[in-house]
């Protein structure tokens, strides 16, 4: 595997050259600051741009084109990393040595055509596709509640102080009403003008040809912008907010949200993944072994970290009557770590498990690409450093980090079906 970077005036192009995989991925990453309305605009734009363009006027034409290109799928994903929104336009395609000569070139043309040639006339997105995209997003908002885990996590995040930017990356239904064919086209143009941009590609291709194609397409549209990314730093506070919602379910969802106070870069990147393996990630963690296996209090319990937001949460599917027991058990398990009750064995297992995960990343082109993107654009370590740093972690560091976790929010989505207690 070989990494090559080309720096241009307004953006950089990074190649990871490898013939290990049968497919290649090309990705354009735009980073911008955001507000509540921008999130909704971005969500609608993702729907619009993937649905049609100037040459492929309907979704059917787009799908047929992608079938013709051996199932190359053009996608746009977005995520929030604390104070910035990261919009990733990408396409994964089978390398032409397995399909047809010249196919790589055709696919790269299609990728840029979809991004840069939107279905716009007279400064407005075409209305039929616009309506389908909007309807689609309305319906997405209506359905959000159906995924109880994500819904509960979002609800817990909403209880945080607004200055910590705890918005939903998919935007908000009430904002969608404000969007029309014209203001969305304005947003489309702004996104390219105001973002810091980078291009990434992983696979087996001629990087000179690829670079030429990239510059031909992107030079006219991208401007130089700074990446304003920063990590969150919470102030300590002993208040714990509790909220209970009711839902016609059997099970109750519990979210315990912990702020991590004043954690440093090493803690965020190196120690936190080890702490979580001991605390609540995997079948060997304290939460799984003690709360689920030993006490039979939950079928599903785990911790999830949000390093950029300096947040760690515990998510559990429980019975309503056990909620106090589960909350107390989670607190107890964390206290044990804070007191240094970590066996050498569980620490070594956590290190080993993290090491294996990093090795597994090398077997997935998407994982390699995403790890690379976050090391170049954000504050993460690259895969080699992650492996190396693992050897330097001590139990004491894990204990120190655990002491920085402060319970801030308890959210319960209570199941109130009668047979819930059966």
SS3 29: strand
Residue 350 burial by CB count (10 A; 0-12/13-18/19+): exposed, middle or buried?
A: buried
| Binding-residue pattern over the window 197 to 236 for another protein, x denoting contact by CB under 8 A | ----------------------------------------
CB atoms inside a 10 Å sphere around CB 188: 18
Complex with another protein: residue 42 or 252, whichever CB lies closer: 252
Could you say whether residue 365 binds another protein (CB under 8 A)?
Answer: yes
109-114's contacts with Cβ under 8 Å and 24+ in sequence apart are 109/213, 110/65, 110/69, 110/72, 110/74, 111/26, 111/74, 112/213, 112/217, 112/218, 113/53, 113/55, 114/49, 114/50, 114/53, 114/62, 114/74
Could you say whether residue 384 binds another protein (CB under 8 A)?
Answer: no
**Strand pairing report for 252-260 and 124-125:** unpaired
Could you say whether residue 139 binds another protein (CB under 8 A)?
Answer: yes
How many CA atoms does the CB half-sphere of 233 hold within 13 Å?
Answer: 6
Cβ partners under 8 Å of residue 303, min gap 6: 276, 279, 280, 281, 285, 287, 312, 313, 314, 315
Tell me which residues in 53-82 interact with another protein (CB under 8 A).
58-60, 63-64, 66-68, 70-71
Report in angstroms how near the CB of residue 354 gets to another protein at its nearest: 9
Cα 162 to chain centroid distance, Å, stands at 20
Q: Which of 226, 239, 248, 418 binds another protein (CB under 8 A)?
A: 248
Could you say whether residue 146 binds another protein (CB under 8 A)?
Answer: yes
Give the separation between CA 94 and CA 380, rounded to whole angstroms. Answer: 29
Strand order in the sheet with 73-81: 2-7, 11-17, 196-203, 23-33, 84-94, 73-81
Could you say whether residue 181 binds another protein (CB under 8 A)?
Answer: no
**Of 112-120, 159-167, 221-229, 345-353, which part binds another protein (CB under 8 A)?**
345-353
Complex with another protein: residue 364 or 385, whichever CB lies closer: 364
**Of 26-34, 139-147, 178-186, 383-391, which part binds another protein (CB under 8 A)?**
139-147
**Of 5-13, 153-161, 280-288, 394-402, which part binds another protein (CB under 8 A)?**
280-288
Q: Give, in order, the Cα–Cα distances in Å from 138 to each of 42, 131, 414.
A: 14, 10, 26
**Of 227-235, 288-296, 333-341, 377-385, which part binds another protein (CB under 8 A)?**
288-296
**Of 181-189, 283-291, 334-342, 396-404, which part binds another protein (CB under 8 A)?**
283-291
Could you say whether residue 143 binds another protein (CB under 8 A)?
Answer: yes
Enumerate binding residues for another protein (CB under 8 A). 20-23, 58-60, 63-64, 66-68, 70-71, 92, 94, 98-99, 128, 131-132, 135-136, 139, 142-143, 145-146, 148, 247-251, 282-284, 288-289, 292-293, 296, 298-300, 317-319, 345, 348-349, 352-353, 355-356, 359-360, 362-365, 415, 420, 422
């Amino acid at each position: 595997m070989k990494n090559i970077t080309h720096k241009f005036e307004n953006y950089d192009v990074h190649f990871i050259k490898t013939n290990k995989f049968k497919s290649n991925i090309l990705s354009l990453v735009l980073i911008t600051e955001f507000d509540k309305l921008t999130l909704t605009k971005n969500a609608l734009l993702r729907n619009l741009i993937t649905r049609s363009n100037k040459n492929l006027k309907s979704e059917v034409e787009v799908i047929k084109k992608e079938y013709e290109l051996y199932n190359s799928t053009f996608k746009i994903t977005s995520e929030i990393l604390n104070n910035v929104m990261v919009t990733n336009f990408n396409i994964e395609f089978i390398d032409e040595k397995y399909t047809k000569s010249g196919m790589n070139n055709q696919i790269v043309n299609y990728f840029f055509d979809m991004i840069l040639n939107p279905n716009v006339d007279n400064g407005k997105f075409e209305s039929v596709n616009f309506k389908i995209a909007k309807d689609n997003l309305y319906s997405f908002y209506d359905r959000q509640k159906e995924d109880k885990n994500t819904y509960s996590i979002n609800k817990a995040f909403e209880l945080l102080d607004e200055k910590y930017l705890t918005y939903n990356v998919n935007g908000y239904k009430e904002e969608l009403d404000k969007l029309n064919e014209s203001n969305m086209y304005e947003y489309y143009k702004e996104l390219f003008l105001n973002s810091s941009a980078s291009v990434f590609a992983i696979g087996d291709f001629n990087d000179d040809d690829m670079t030429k194609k990239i510059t031909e397409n992107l030079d006219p549209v991208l401007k130089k912008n700074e990446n304003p990314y920063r990590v969150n730093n919470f102030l300590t506070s002993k208040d714990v907010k509790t909220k209970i919602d009711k839902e016609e379910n059997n099970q109750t969802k519990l979210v315990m949200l912990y702020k991590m106070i004043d954690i440093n870069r090493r803690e965020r990147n190196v120690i936190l993944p080890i702490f979580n393996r001991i605390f609540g990630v995997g079948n060997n963690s304290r939460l799984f072994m003690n709360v689920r296996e030993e006490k039979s209090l939950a079928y599903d319990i785990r911790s999830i970290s949000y390093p950029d937001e300096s947040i760690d949460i515990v998510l559990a599917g429980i019975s309503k009557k056990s909620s106090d027991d589960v909350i107390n058990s989670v607190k107890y398990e964390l206290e044990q770590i804070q007191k240094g009750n970590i066996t050498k064995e569980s620490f070594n297992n956590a290190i080993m498990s993290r090491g294996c995960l990093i090795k597994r990343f090398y077997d997935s082109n998407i994982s390699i690409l995403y790890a690379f993107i976050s090391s170049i654009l954000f504050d993460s370590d690259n895969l080699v450093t992650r492996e190396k740093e693992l050897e330097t972690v001590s139990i004491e560091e894990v204990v120190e980090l655990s002491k920085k976790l402060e319970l801030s929010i308890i959210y319960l989505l209570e199941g109130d079906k009668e047979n819930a207690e059966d």
